[in-house]
Structures are given as C-alpha cells and as structure tokens.
Structure 1
Amino acid sequence: MKDNPTTLFDALPRNVIELAKEADRAIKAGKPDYLPAVLCQVGLPRSPTPGRTFERTSGNVSLQVEAGKAWDGRAWQEMPLPYGVRPRLALVHISTEAIRTRSRTVDVGGSVNAFLTELGLDNGGKAYRQMRQQMTALAVCTLRLGRVETRTIGGVERDFAVTLDAKPFRQFEAWIDSRGDQPTLWPTEIELSQEFFDSLTETAVPLEHGAIAKLTHSALALDIYTWLAHRLHRVRRGGSRISWAALQEQFGSEYSDRKDFKREMKRRLRDVLAVYPDARVEEVEGGLMLRASPPPIPRSRVARIAVK
C-alpha cells in the first residue's frame, strides 16, 4: 500500500488494488455487462429508506429487501438498506464477473472501484465512504422473492403463492480499517449463494456497458434501462400496454403523488431512449405502450453461458 494514502482505496492491500487491472481489461474489451432477469424487473430502493425492510412489486413478482448486520472484528454493526446508483452498479459488476470467470467467488475490492471509476463516479472522500457503506450493506442484506404460480391440479387451474429466499451472497470477506474510533469495512471478496449463481447463469440479461455509463446519474434511469433490456425483445405482436398505476407500483413506490412519478418517469425514460435508440416505447393514454424491439446487445455479441 502507499506510504501516504489519499483515499481509503490507496490504503488497501496491494493485491486488492491489482484487481483493478483485470476490470480495466474487461472494460476495454467491450464485453457486455449482465444482471439477473429478476433484478431487471424489481430493484433495490432508490433513496434512503426508513425501517429495516423495503418492498417492490411488478405484476406477479415481488421483492423484499431486508437490511442486515456485518461483523467488524469487534461487534456486529447494523447496516442500512442498500440504495441508489452504487449498489446497482456493484450488482452489475459482480454478476458480470461471476459469468466471465464462471465462479461463485468474485474479487471485489479493487475491481468494483475500477469499474465505478471508469463509469465516471468519484471514489474519494465522502463518495468513497458512501460506496464502502453501500457495498457492505449490499453484501449483508437479505432478498426474498414472492411470486404467483398457476398450476393445473386434477384438471383445475389453481394459483399458488411462492416465497423464495434469494439472498445473493453466502459469504464476504472485508478488509478492516482500524485507524478510527470504530472499525470500518471494505469487502474484498464475495461468494455468491448457489441459488443466486444458478439464477444468474440461467437468466442473465446482457446490458450495454456504454449505456450504463451514461445513466449513472439516476437509479431510476438504470432501472428503466435494465427493465427494457429484459422486456422489449419478449413483447408479442401488437405490443403491451402498461398503465401508470402498474408502472408506479413497479418503479415509483417512493412517490405519494402519481403526477410527480409520471413527470420523473417520462424524464428518465427520455434519458434511456437516448442510449437505447432501438427501444420502441411510446406514451399512450393512461400509460406506456411497449413494442417488440431488438435487445440492446445483439445476440451475436453475447457469448453462450456455460457452467461446468
């Protein structure tokens, strides 16, 4: 590590900092980024949220996020709910690295920092402290998925409510900085749970790295982009109309006034369409109309995911 570090990243062990080189190589190669399909449909909070749980619903799928605690070497620290741009980008990077290496164990200390820096996000001072906290909060949170499944039993269709434990990480290791009054943590290695890894390798949605880089100013814009990347190429002939009420349930649970949500949703949708020009989305009376569109990453550029 440097003798006189200017940021906490500079003070990380040398082998962790070296991970940034691998991230840079992947970025320069122009390879797609990835995110599990379910997280393209329902996402994390976009702003600080009171309480220890958060819920978001889209159609027959619902996500519950529960804040966790992290062991700092002395005591259990209560972490907040992860929120905003940074944990979303961290999930993209972790998912991409797991697919690239075909491994549940992902080095994150330097590689996440390089990934975020390359996207134009500040990594010093207050911004770095926020990122460190958000990464730890993400590493220890619990995700639960609820969905409705229709099954035919005895010739009769019945709906079943299913709850799944979708905790993304089984274990994480963190470098302990003991220079302050209270130890602080920076995750250096994360092991994905088998269930999350299996879901990732089976349902990963390819994303355009350049598009993500242009949307880092808004968690809502990132959510809309990943949703359209997952949704548009599956739209059937004739299109799919989605009401403002359904869109607010999926994207705007933080808004009490639908007018405010509609205004922000339309504004961020314009940002997304600027980086995903092939997306066919139009405003209609009462909501949005989705038309069948090519995915943001041509299928010829997406390597087949094979896990031995």
Structure 2
Amino acid sequence: MRSKTQGNSIQSFDLVKGKRNNPYSILYVPRMFAQHPFPKSNLDKDSYWTVNGDKVLILVSGHDYSPKEKRTIPVGLPFGMIPRLLILMITTRAVLTGKREIKLSPNISQFLKMIGYEVSGGEQGSLSQLYVQLKRLLNCRVSYQHYKDIDNPMQGQFKRDMGPIDEMEFWEATYDEESNRLKDIRIKLHEHFYREIMNHAFPVKQEDVNKLRPSTLALDLYLFLCHRVFNLKRDTYISWKDLNKQFGSNYANHLDFGSRARKYLRKIKSEVYPQVNFAFEPGRLVLKKSPTPVKKLSTNSR
C-alpha cells in the first residue's frame, strides 16, 4: 500500500534565501514535524508517538555505549524548543544548498543567535543544554506509518524509516569563544528525510518563529497552520481531541488543551499571521482558505 497523503511542494514557493545580514530570515519546515511535533517536555521513556488520523509518527531514542557500565544506554528523546529550532536550521541548510551533507559547526551558533538564543561556553553556559538536545536529535530514529484503517491494522499499512540522520561526526562539541561557534559537527541526512524535505518542506518567516519562541505550543500551532492552509479548498474541521492527540500534548483533558490552543491561536492571528482565517466552534477548530505567510508562485510564473 502506498501512502496517499498529499502535502506542500517546495516547487510551489519562491525559493527565497535569507537576507545577507540574516541568512535565516526565511526558514524551511519539514512537513512531518509540522504534522507531528517533538515532545514538549522530558519523557522518562525510550519512545514517543503522535497520531494524525490514520497516520502515526514514532520517535525512538538512540543509544550510546557506556564503557563504565559496559552496556548501551538510551541517549533520550529530544524535547522542548531547541530540537524544534535545530530541525528548522538543518532543513533550511539542506533546501538552500541542495546537499544531504551539512556542516553544523559554522552555522549553528549563527542561527541560534539570529533567533535570540545565545550560545555560551562554561559549566553554566547554554552549551551544555544545547549539547544534550543536539545529541538526542542526531541519534533518534523516526518512522512514519500510514494505516488503511488505524483501528484495524491488519487491513494494511505503509511504513517508512525517516532517519532523520544517516551519518554523523560528533567528535567534540566544544565552544570556541574566538570564532563564536561550535566545533566539529557534521551530519548526513537520511535519504528518505532529505527527499521529504526537498519535495515537501515549506517556508516560514524567521521573525514569526522568534516572536513565538518562548512557547513550544504556540510555535507548533503556527507551523501546523502554515502547513494546513496550503492548497486548502474548503473549510476543514478539526476537533480539539484529535489535535491534542496529533500534538502528543500532555493534557489529559482535551478541553484544557482546547482552551490553551485558542489562546495561542488568537495570539498568532493578532501578532504574527493576520492573514490566516479560522474560527472556533464548540469542541473544534475550523480552518478556512488563507494565504500562506510566504508568497507562493503564481500559475504563470511556474
């Protein structure tokens, strides 16, 4: 069974590069992480999943060998804001260079500073937190599963391992104060993940991401909206219960999730993305046809 999901095509957008003084003024977003965000908090388990209709994304922790314990131990799942920002940077570099292999060292510090996250060395610096999340992100494994009927898996399913990282050199994540960058980090994207982002990544404005950065839920909702309004032909109804499940949120009650989501959706519309059209109905969100935050190519210009 082949996946029949349709999504954004990067060919439908102007391939916009950032400004010379800010190469990350336009960021590119992987479709699958707009549909299925990373965990928001640290989870004491080795796997995590989110459900979107008949589609499931499964995130599994990588493992490292411990010479002291003489066994492999879980690295842990990436969580919070840092892996969200890192995956945007990695995707943007891949889209703009057209290459699977990316040297993070010259780019990561510049990118994080551009979006207001200061990288500093030392025991109390932010580098230690960045190091943990970077290692978790680069070691995790992602699989994407699409069921014919999620309540009856035996009817058939499509599964694809998505990486996202195929190779990694991570010799020493130290901070060089003089050059203001991290040292010696090189990655090669998994072929399936690379093809996914080259075919389906979509652009957003870095200034919008920066405004929403204090809240992972606000950023997740913004990326979700930007993805869903693409080619939207008619009103789409999404219950808070389903959206809570899709976001893998920690809200036991979907009504609590809906209340928090409405707060951030109003903020997104009033402060970040005024062109987006949506409405609230009892128990659900209604998405309406909207212009994308970054202009799509016109039919005549393709």
TM-score by length of 1: 0.78
Counterpart for residue 103 of structure 1: 99
Q: Does the 8 Å contact 1:172/1:187 carry over to 2?
A: no
Q: CA deviation at 1:291?
A: 0.2
Q: Does the 8 Å contact 1:135/1:186 carry over to 2?
A: no
Task: Describe the SS at the equivalent of 2:217.
Answer: helix
- The amino acid across from 1:84 in the alignment is G
Provide, for residues 239-278 of structure 1, a one-character-per-residue CA deviation record: whole Å limited to 9, x for no partner: 1111111111112531112233122212222232221111
% identity of equivalent residues: 26
Residues 210 and 159 from structure 1, CA distance in 2 versus in 1: closer, same or farther, beyond 3 angstroms?
A: farther
The correspondence for 1:291, drawn from 288, 293, 300, is: 288
CA distance in 2, matches of 1:173, 1:213: 29
Counterpart for residue 258 of structure 1: 254
The correspondence for 1:230, drawn from 224, 227, 231, is: 227
Task: Describe the SS at the equivalent of 1:51.
Answer: coil
Matches within 5 A, 1:261-272: 261-272=257-268
CA distance in 2, matches of 1:111, 1:160: 42
Counterpart for residue 42 of structure 1: 36
CA distance in 1, matches of 2:236, 2:34: 17
CA distance in 2, matches of 1:287, 1:55: 22
Counterpart for residue 115 of structure 2: 119
Counterpart for residue 145 of structure 2: 146
Alignment gaps of 5+ in structure 1 = 1-22, 151-157, 179-184
- The amino acid across from 1:210 in the alignment is E
Matches within 5 A, 1:75-224: 78-124=74-120, 125-149=124-148, 160-176=156-172, 188-224=185-221
Q: CA deviation at 1:222?
A: 1.4
Residues 177 and 128 from structure 1, CA distance in 2 versus in 1: closer, same or farther, beyond 3 angstroms?
A: closer
Q: Does the 8 Å contact 1:34/1:204 carry over to 2?
A: yes
Question: Is 1:244–2:240 an aligned residue pair?
Answer: yes
Residues 288 and 208 from structure 1, CA distance in 2 versus in 1: closer, same or farther, beyond 3 angstroms?
A: same
TM-score by length of 2: 0.80
Q: CA deviation at 1:70?
A: 4.0
Residues 242 and 187 from structure 1, CA distance in 2 versus in 1: closer, same or farther, beyond 3 angstroms?
A: farther
Alignment gaps of 5+ in structure 2 = 1-16, 175-181
Q: Does the 8 Å contact 1:215/1:271 carry over to 2?
A: no
CA distance in 1, matches of 2:108, 2:21: 12
More helix by share: 1
Residues 252 and 281 from structure 1, CA distance in 2 versus in 1: closer, same or farther, beyond 3 angstroms?
A: farther
Residues 187 and 283 from structure 1, CA distance in 2 versus in 1: closer, same or farther, beyond 3 angstroms?
A: farther
CA distance in 2, matches of 1:67, 1:139: 10
Task: Describe the SS at the equivalent of 1:166.
Answer: strand
CA distance in 1, matches of 2:201, 2:75: 28
Q: Report how many aligned residue pairs link the two structures.
A: 268
Question: Is 1:66–2:60 an aligned residue pair?
Answer: yes
The correspondence for 2:51, drawn from 45, 48, 57, is: 57
Q: CA deviation at 1:25?
A: 6.2
Q: CA deviation at 1:118?
A: 1.2
Provide, for residues 258-305 of structure 1, a one-character-per-residue CA deviation record: whole Å limited to 9, x for no partner: 23312221222223222111110111122111000011100249xx9x
